[in-house]
Structure 1
Amino acid sequence: MVFEDVLEEYLYHCMARGYTQKTMINKRQECKNLKIYLKEKRGITELESITTFDLRAYFRIKQQAGLQPQSIVTMYKMIAAFFNWCEREGYLSENPISKVVTPKVPKKVLNGFTVEEVQGMIEAFSYKTYIEARNKAMIAMLADCGLRAMEIRSLTVENVKEKTLLIYGKGNKERIVFISPELKKILIKYDRMRKQYFKDKIIKEDCFFLTYLGTGLSHVSLYNVIKEAGKRAGVEDKRVSPHTFRHFYSVQSLLSGKLDLHSLSLLLGHSDITTTQRYLSSMNNEQLIDKATSSSPLMNMKGS
């Protein structure tokens, strides 16, 4: 089978599964890079002609070019997803990617937000204008619900319920996230200002969080809001991003002792609990001591 034809079918398969535009751009780019390499450097245009040696050579070139291990692993996952699909579809009897070894990625411990920093970022915005109220509500929701950037940007008015959020995550997977009373208080004020601001304006997209023009927020716009929150709150030497808020939500949920790892995994929309377990390894010593103390059998025997 012609490699290019199978690639095209695979990409349409991914689109049908509801992958985000950003994910599709990355997949197309990596598939294109592999296609060019195989054709120009190895003289391969047929899917069945691709061997493990060809793929090892491809990743070796990436390493020699100075790419970081994490970048190579990310590329590997995208290419592996294609070949695994080919095997499932019966296009390949043997999977050439199965014996390709990826470089080890050094473990980096994320320096997460403190409770005081998150509180400061929420309080950095007021209710004086629609944009200020919107920013406050977004920061509060990120901290209290652990949403991905794509999830908070695509959240619709219809999916903000009385006590829950209906979220469509990676692969368009549906899940329910709960709204705490503290977050609800902020959302009520924001929604009131949102309705007032757009009373005589045209809303162009059905997003809960809108720009002043009535359109949904772009990826860059959301990041700019978060960066501004960190700047106003004086957060330094930390990555101020949606993922760090997601990390904060996860760690605080585990520290509280009110959520088990499986429940947290469902709320985060993780397909594999091992992804959620990584948040445990990012806890600092002080946080681990607090968790150990609260779960101490002897401490819990007091007053029993």
Structure 2
Amino acid sequence: MPKKACPKNTYLRDGIYWARFKVGGVEYRQSLRTRSERVALKRLAVLREQVEDQAVYGIAGPVGWPDAVVSWSERASGSLGERSYSRYLCSLRQVRAHLDSLSVQEVTAEVLKELIKTRRRAGVKNATIRRDLTAISSVLDNAADEGWISDNPVAGLNRRRIVPEKTVRIVLPQDASVALVFERLPDRIRDLCEFTRETGLRLDEATSLRHAAIDRLERTITVEKGKGDKVRVVPLTAAAEAIADRQPRYIGKPWVFWQGKGERIVGVSSRLGGFMRRVAQKAAREGTEFHPFSHHDFRHLFAVEYLRSGRGSIYDLQGELGHGTITVTERYLAFLTPDQVKAAKSLVAQRGAQTPRSEAASTA
């Protein structure tokens, strides 16, 4: 069956009509948001008139929020990292109910403030709302580049005041509580927790670790997709190598930590939480002490032990953890003695980075 011919200045994408025409030598492409040829032609005529008015008189016609998102997506999918792009899309899906009925010109600071209030009333956390605003801001930046709006209204919001970030207090996991949970964990989940404690990797970084990223000759681990899609290299200790080596390889799959038929392991936090709840319930019945912890707490423990042992300075630790600013890393100084703080802040801090923690413990 021959392919359906589209009317002039239109084309089909997944059954939806799109406009494509030039005004003043500039090509314009925009979804007409219809599967009907008749409706598409009407919308094309209106759109072309708006674009010509803008080109001649500087008058920008209304551009729907969904069209602004499509335009942003075409540019962002090639410029953002895969994880960042997926995170932005997730946020944009969450705010569709608030913005889809508006034109991009109608998305004002007041509209955004009302969106924030509504999301808060729904019980959404501030950190999530801040991520939503970042995604919205990215779409509005693109709209400004396209000439649809003059300014990005998100830029005028004081996000620190309107959506303050909550400072999470760091509590280090206690050995006795960790032992109670570890004795119940499946081997692979326990190994993943121990690997995080030994390397300081984030959970997502550890679960996406490939065998090829471990260089036994150079004694390094390459974190291929850290936070913000940044790459960094961290030392491979003897203990971390031993944990990686005892993971059975699934033929044809790259992951160090895997499940099922070689798929990347998922749901670690929820599974760890399930075992922890059972341990906590048993401890409560028996009247014994138990302090809950999260998988991320092993990263905190790595950081504190790194500084306490003199493996490197606070600046070395910043690099190993992949922190964007030293301020974030400096939170761990609160767990040190004055002498340890002095050493950690010095560029010539005592270094034992080539001596794995497990070896240091055996010689203590």
Q: Give the alignment's TM-score, normalised by structure 2.
A: 0.61
Q: 1:184: how far off?
A: 2.4
Give the CA deviation at 1:207.
0.9
How big is the shift at 1:147?
1.2
Equivalent position of 1:37 in the other structure = 98
- Mapped to 2, the partners of 1:227 and 1:160 lie a distance apart of 31
Match of 1:208 among 245, 252, 256: 256
Change (3 A) 1:3 1:244: same
Tell me, in whole angstroms, the C-alpha distance in 2 between the residues paired with 1:122 and 1:211. 20
Q: Is 1:60 equivalent to 2:113 in the alignment?
A: no
Letter paired with 1:211: Q
| Identity over aligned pairs, percent | 19
Q: CA, structure 1 residues 208+91, in 2 after alignment: closer, same or farther (shift >3 Å)? A: farther
For 2:164 and 2:172, the matched residues in 1 are separated by 23
- Supply the distance in 1 between the matched residues of 2:315 and 2:141 (Cα, whole angstroms): 27
Q: Using the alignment, how far apart are the partners of 2:264 and 2:130 within structure 1?
A: 32
Structure 1 position 250, deviation (Å): 1.9
Q: What CA distance in whole angstroms lies between the structure 2 residues aligned with 1:227 and 1:38?
A: 37
For 1:165 and 1:54, the matched residues in 2 are separated by: 46
Residues 1:10 and 2:72 are matched in the alignment: yes
Q: Which residue of 2 aligns with 1:50?
A: 107
The match for 2:330 is 277
1:164 maps to which residue?
A: 220
Any stretches of 5+ residues in structure 1 without a counterpart? none
The equivalent residue for 1:180 is: 237
Gaps of 5+ in 2: 1-62, 284-288, 350-364
Contact 2:68 2:139 in 1 (8 A): no
Q: Whose radius of gyration is greater, 1 or 2? A: 2
Paired with 1:29 and 1:288, the residues of 2 have a C-alpha distance of: 43
Query: CA distance change for structure 1 residues 159 and 5 in 2, over 3 Å: closer, same or farther?
Result: same
- Secondary structure in 2 aligned to 1:73? helix
1:113-155 deviation per Cα after TM superposition (whole angstroms, max 9, x unaligned): 24x35984897489xxxx62x3443222100111122211111
1:291 to 311, 317, 340: 340
1:41-190 superposed matches below 5 A: 44-45=102-103, 47-84=104-141, 86=143, 92-101=149-158, 102-114=162-174, 116=175, 120=179, 124=183, 132=187, 134-162=188-216, 163-168=219-224, 169-188=226-245, 190=246
Closer, same or farther: CA 270–89 of 1 in aligned 2, 3 Å: farther
Secondary structure of residue in 1 paired with 2:233: strand
Equivalent in the alignment of 2:311: 258
CA distance in 2, matches of 1:88, 1:261: 40
Per-residue displacement from partner, 1:243-296 (whole Å, max 9, x unpaired)? 21222222222333432233222222233333333444xx45xx4457348679
174-183 or 268-277, larger mean C-alpha shift: 268-277
What displacement does 1:26 show? 4.6
Q: Deviations over 1:144-176 (max 9, x none)?
A: 111122211111111122011111113432211
Distance 1:154 1:79, change over 3 A: same
Which structure is richer in relative contact order (CA contacts within 8 A, separation 6 or more)? Answer: 1
Equivalent residues of 2:207, 2:265 under 8 A apart: yes
**Deviation, structure 1 residue 109:** 0.8
Once superposed, what is the RMSD of the aligned Cα atoms? 3.8
Which of 79-88 and 47-56 deviates more?
A: 79-88
Does structure 2 conserve the Cα–Cα contact (< 8 Å) formed by 1:153 and 1:216?
yes
1:39–1:137: structure 2 CA closer, same or farther, 3 Å change rule?
closer
Q: Secondary structure at the match of 2:156?
A: coil
Aligned residue pair count: 271
- Alignment check: 8 A CA contact 2:313 2:345 kept: no
Residue 96 (structure 1) shift: 0.3
Is the contact made by 1:227 and 1:240 (CA closer than 8 Å) also made in structure 2?
A: no
Which structure features the higher share of strand residues? 2
Is residue 92–residue 132 contact of structure 2 (8 Å, CA) maintained in 1?
no
Conservation of the 8 A alpha-carbon contact between 1:177 and 1:267: yes
Structure 1: distance between partners of 2:273 and 2:196: 10
User: Which TM-score applies when normalising by structure 1?
Assistant: 0.71
